[in-house]
Structure 1
């Protein structure tokens, strides 16, 4: 199964690359942290963008609405109460197909948590999420076995 998933990842890699470039452009145009600071487009990831844990579902929906990510899947994050940190709550980012979770990861795999600001979409974490979404859309099976 692992070799089959590796092969599937290889097949969708060009599509993932294309989506990541478009996401990078959206981050640079609409979610840049400090517009006065001169940064290259490819440096927009992490601390240079303002995507937050609680803003990630709407960011994902915006990418869907722009047809950057063509999916009906929904993204949510888990919380237990609003008084604790995301670490204390063991917050996770979850992608659902209707009520079925198809991808789960820790919040700090997707959002920079340095200084407890929880702001800044991380490139590798988001790439993993996009890969899981595309694999699921193409093969309609759960891509991450350890949910």
Structure 2
């Protein structure tokens, strides 16, 4: 089945990309997959207190992951509400690993036709996430700036 993959943080910088992806899916009668990747380096925060027990570190990491999942779902309410309003079927994925790896893996797994990404227009950086996605994604990539 053909579908679009939207990689978003749910921030205002991604608003235009979210609107484009939902509108495109509504127009083409395609389902939308939404991915929010949280860098797994978050786990280093478990090392803040060197005197903390291993159990305390794991509980802290679990709490941080739970809180980020909750916060991400709240940030992504806007795009999910827009998809529901236009009768676009969607699935939300929150992944915990390097964003480049998560997004490319999801695009390959689902056989995405198009990957939509947003963000700020910045100076050219050949090592940015958007440039890396354009090189490594198994499908067309459309970047929509704020």
TM-score by length of 1: 0.30
Tell me which protein shows more helix as a share of its residues: 2
Higher relative contact order (CA 8 A, sep 6+): 2
- Structure with the greater alpha carbon radius of gyration: 2
Normalising by structure 2, we get a TM-score of 0.30
Structure in which a larger fraction of residues adopt strand: 2
